[in-house]
Every structure is written in C-alpha cells, then in structure tokens.
C-alpha cells in the first residue's frame, strides 16, 4: 500500500472509530476535499521526543488532541507501572493555551484509570512550579500541558521524571516503546467523580504555591539589600497572557519591589495571545505595549515571560535613555556577574562552584564565571540536560550548582527545581538592577563594563521554518549537505574544527547538531529544532569593539545563510 492510501485509510478509520467523539469527526469531515490537509494530519504519528509531544491542536494522528495525549498518557502509565514503583503518582500542570485545562484533566483521568494517583493544579501555573511540585510531593513523574512560546495554534505535553527534570533520552525511549504498542482502544480512564471517590485525583494549589515561593525567595543572595533598595526600582511586567502573572508579582512584592506595574492589556490569560504576533520574550515586538507603559512611568526595567513562565526577557535603558532589549546571553552574563560578585563579597563563593550552559550559549558568561574561580560545564541544547547535571552534582558532590542558563532566555539558580524558571530569573535581574542602581549604574552600564573587561561578544540566531513532510526532508538535506561538504573557510577565516554531535562528543548524548569553530574564536552551529518545524543557526563572535563585533557577526551570518538559503 502506498503512502497516500495509508493516509486515507487512517483518515477513514478515525471517521468510523466508535471511540472518537462526534465533534472530532465533524472537524475531519470538513477537510474531506482537502487531500493536502488530510495528509498533513495523518502522514505520521505526532512524534514523542525526549521532551514529550508538541504540535498543532486539531484532529488527526499528527495533531495534539485528547486521543494523542490520552495514548501518550497510557504509555506513561505503563512505563511507571512496569518500573516497579510502589504507589506511583504524577503531578499535572498547564498553561493558558487552547485545550490546556481539558488536556490536563484528560491526563489525570487516564492515569487514574490505571490506578495511578494524579495531583492536578486547580488552575494554570508556571512550568517551573510543576518541576518543583514533583519534588515537593515526592511524585514519580510530572506532566505539563504547554507549547511554551510557540504560536497560538500549538499545544504540547511535557513529561518530567521524579527528580523534577524533563525526562532524558533513555526514559523517553522506554515510554515511546509503550506508546507505539498502543491503540486508542487501549486507553483506560475514569470519570472525574470516580477518580476523586477512589482517591486517585487530588486538586492542589495554595500549599504548593506557598512552598514554591519560599524556595524562590531563598535563592536571593542579598535579601537585606533588596528590601532596602527594591522600592527604588520601577518595574513594568508583562506575562504575555500566560501563567506568570500571579507568581512573578508575588515574588517581587515579597522581595521588596513595591513599584511593579503590569501591562493591563496582557495581564489576563488569553489562548489567542491577541495583543502580540508571538508570545515570546525573545521577540522585541512582544514588548511593544510594555515599552509604552514604561516610557510613561520612567521604568528602570521591563520584564516579560512566555506563556508557561519558564523564559524571561528583560528590557533596560541604554546610554541615551532609550529602551534596549537584552538578549538571553546578555541577561545571563549580567546575572552571573551580580551573583558571583555578591557571593564573593559575602565570602560565600564555594571552591567547587559551577555554572552550566549549553553549547550554543555565549562564552561571555563563561569567562565571567571562570574569573571568579567557578567551573563551567557545557550541555546540549535543552534545559533537561542542565537539570540532569544538577542532580548528578547532588549525588556525587563534585560541584555546587550556582547558575544554569541557555541563550533562549532560560535561567535557573537554586536547586528546588530542575527546569528553567522565569520567576527566579525575574527576581535576580530585578535584584541586580536594584544593587547597581544604588551604585549609580543601569544594567546597560554594567553590560558595557563587562564587554570592556572580558571582550566584545556578540551573538545572533537565524531560523528557517519548513513545515510538513517536505519541510522535514529539506531540513534533513541541509544538515547532510553541511556534514558531508563542510566549508574549509569563511570570510578569510579558516574553520579549525567541526564538532558533529551525532555520535556524542565530550560525554554528551547523541544529537543532530553541527558546530563549526573558526580561527578568530567565532563559531556557528546548525541544529534542527526539537519542538518546531525549523532549522536553527546560531552565530557568535568576539570583537575588539562593539562595532568590530557587529561587523564580524553580520559577515559570518551572511556567508552561512547564503549557502543555506540556496
């Protein structure tokens, strides 16, 4: 049977399956004369990767819906039951996206149908609180229904292990094996009333919230200074219609920041994210309304968090008084400088302190950390690898974790969680703003001082979106071309090394990533996204001045993208 026939057979099977509800069937009937749409929905099963599922919401095997989520949960349940865990339990959270509440309840009821206790948050919560809650409640696993900062049509399903970290490849492979052996008819679930009557569904909220906030506040390296100087810092915050509003405001208030304004148009949850093109603090446009409010109130710093509140972006005033959007690398460098210098002043800098970053994150933060005697370790892209390292440190005592970050606006300090946390990042960067303001400096001033001391680092990210089956093939072809036919030089600079992580390097797991290092300390990296139909290209340079770094970066970017776009 050819592929087109297989797709049509799957489509017809959904239409006639007695276990599929009528609303879903109506959605499918509406596309019966759209063969390309049918193919896109059914040409494959939505792939369960190391982070779980992520895709467009809708009917079909290649979509996020109650059936694909139910099947994934049945696979997770089988994995937990076969692992020999006594009385397994799972914590479940969700963000503000379409179907997030419904899919989180579906997850809980399928777990209950398998005799596994589900702890379900009473409303939307930040993803990092889910990571914390798994540890706090001593659960066997966690699930969060979110698509992070993806466009509104997406949703997702991320699985966490008992340490509070996203599952890694070995765990994912075992769960995937169970999922592949299942059909929709194999999904077992209870009603909500049955699950609660049997003690297999518990709604959670305030107790976990309070414990989480306490742990975040405990990360502060200088709470006395913050209580004194915090009221002098004028903060504007936007949750971008997501899950961060209550947690961020509470942490900042309890830390001592009394002048916090929330962008009113973006305060309430909205699954359409109707005031922004993309609910992503990596995008300058996401701060448009926040910068308007900040200009009116002369704010010192603007904060923005993505829908599930695990990424934080910051905007500060530059030398001309205009608002300047910090990159993830720049915010990370500032927080490392503040954290390390404060700990050193207090005599609390450990001899075995460690900073963890990813292979596509700037070297500026690493240079700062090393200057304070800290070890710097690199992981593959994905905060799950940073979380895995933290757990290793706790077990072997080799290092004391100080800070982990990635260029894509993810940060963590403290060991209460195993995932990036925009709540603690917001606290730390506001605390840094308060400290440096008391010294007569803005965070932009601090950034320029770091460049002068450590070198003018500059980075950029380009991506190309290639959707559907053909897009996946194109991404594969681009990676293969660069792997088989690597350039020997670019812009007169020799390429001194090619790091192909396909078979694992430096003790890291296997991943389809290529990193090219040039003789002038610049580098670029090609990586297919694990969550979106994109190929991402990272660039980094080190210059003798800001102008020199900008020039080097643009030249490198143009040379690489010209070949990719051809």
- Give the active site residues: 148
464 phi/psi in degrees, rounded to 5: -125, 125
Contact 155, 64 (CB under 8 A): yes
d(CA 314, CA 344): 25
Sequence-distant (6+) residues with CB within 8 A of 216 are 251, 414, 416, 421, 423, 424, 427
Length of the chain: 566
Burial label, 391 (beta-carbon count in 10 A; 0-12, 13-18, 19+) = middle
Q: Hey, what are 227's tokens?
A: 């209580």
Reduced to 3 states, what is the DSSP secondary structure of residue 517?
A: strand
The neighbour count for residue 342, using CB atoms within 10 Å, is 18
Contact 318, 272 (CB under 8 A): no
Contact 532, 192 (CB under 8 A): no
The 3-class SS string of 288-331 reads HHHHHHHHHHCCCEEEEECCCCCCEEEEEECCCCCEEECCHHHH
Q: Hey, what are 499's tokens?
A: 């790091």
Sequence-distant (6+) residues with CB within 8 A of 308 are 95, 126, 127, 144, 146, 148, 242, 243
d(CA 346, CA 348): 5
């Amino acid at each position: 049977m050819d592929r087109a026939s297989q797709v049509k057979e799957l489509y017809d099977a959904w239409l006639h399956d007695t276990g599929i509800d009528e609303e879903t069937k109506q959605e499918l009937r509406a596309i019966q004369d759209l063969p390309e749409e049918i193919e896109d929905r059914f040409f494959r099963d939505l792939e369960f990767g190391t982070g779980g599922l992520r895709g467009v919401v809708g009917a079909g095997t290649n979509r996020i819906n109650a059936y694909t989520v139910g099947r994934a949960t049945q696979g997770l349940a089988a994995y937990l039951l076969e692992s020999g865990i006594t009385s397994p339990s799972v914590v479940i959270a969700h963000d503000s996206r379409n179907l997030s509440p419904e899919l989180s309840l579906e997850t809980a009821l399928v777990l209950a149908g398998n005799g596994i206790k589900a702890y379900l948050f009473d409303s939307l919560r930040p993803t990092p609180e889910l990571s914390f809650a798994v540890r706090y409640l001593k659960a066997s696993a966690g699930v969060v229904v979110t698509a992070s900062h993806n466009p509104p049509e997406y949703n997702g399903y991320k699985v966490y292990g008992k340490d509070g970290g996203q599952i890694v490849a070995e765990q994912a492979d075992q769960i995937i094996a169970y999922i592949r052996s299942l059909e929709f008819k194999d999904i077992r679930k209870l009603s909500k009333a049955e699950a609660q009557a049997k003690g297999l569904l518990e709604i959670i909220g305030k107790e976990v919230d309070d414990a989480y906030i306490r742990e975040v506040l405990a990360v502060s390296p200088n709470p006395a200074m913050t209580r004194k100087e915090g009221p002098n810092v004028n903060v504007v915050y936007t949750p971008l219609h997501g899950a961060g509003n209550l947690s961020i405001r509470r942490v900042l208030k309890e830390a001592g920041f009394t002048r916090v304004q929330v962008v009113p148009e973006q305060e309430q949850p909205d699954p359409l994210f109707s005031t922004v093109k993309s609910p992503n603090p990596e995008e300058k446009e996401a701060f448009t309304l926040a910068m308007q409010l900040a200009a009116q109130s002369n704010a010192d710093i603007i904060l923005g968090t993505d829908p599930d509140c695990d990424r934080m972006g910051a905007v500060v005033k530059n030398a001309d008084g205009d608002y300047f959007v910090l990159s993830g690398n720049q915010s990370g460098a500032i927080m490392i400088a503040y954290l390390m210098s404060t700990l050193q002043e207090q005599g609390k800098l450990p001899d075995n302190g460690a900073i963890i970053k990813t292979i596509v994150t700037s070297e500026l933060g690493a240079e700062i950390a090393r200057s304070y005697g800290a070890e710097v370790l690199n992981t593959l892209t994905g905060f799950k690898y940073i979380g895995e390292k933290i757990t290793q440190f706790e077990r072997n005592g080799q290092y004391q974790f100080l800070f982990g970050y990635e260029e894509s606006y993810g940060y963590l300090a403290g060991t209460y969680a195993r995932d990036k946390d925009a709540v603690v990042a917001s606290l730390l960067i506001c605390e840094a703003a308060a400290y440096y303001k008391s010294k007569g400096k803005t965070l932009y001033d601090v950034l320029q001082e770091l460049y002068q001391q450590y070198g003018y680092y500059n980075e950029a990210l380009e991506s190309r979106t290639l959707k559907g089956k053909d897009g996946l093939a194109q991404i594969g072809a681009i990676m293969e071309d660069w792997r088989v036919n690597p350039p020997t030089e670019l812009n007169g600079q020799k390429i001194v090394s090619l790091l192909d992580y396909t078979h694992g390097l430096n003790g890291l797991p296997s991943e389809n990533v290529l990193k090219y290092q040039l003789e002038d300390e610049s580098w670029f990296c090609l990586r297919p996204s694990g969550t979106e139909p994109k190929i991402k290209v990272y660039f980094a340079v080190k210059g003798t001045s800001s102008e020199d770094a900008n020039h080097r970066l643009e030249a490198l970017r143009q040379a690489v993208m010209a070949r990719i776009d051809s």
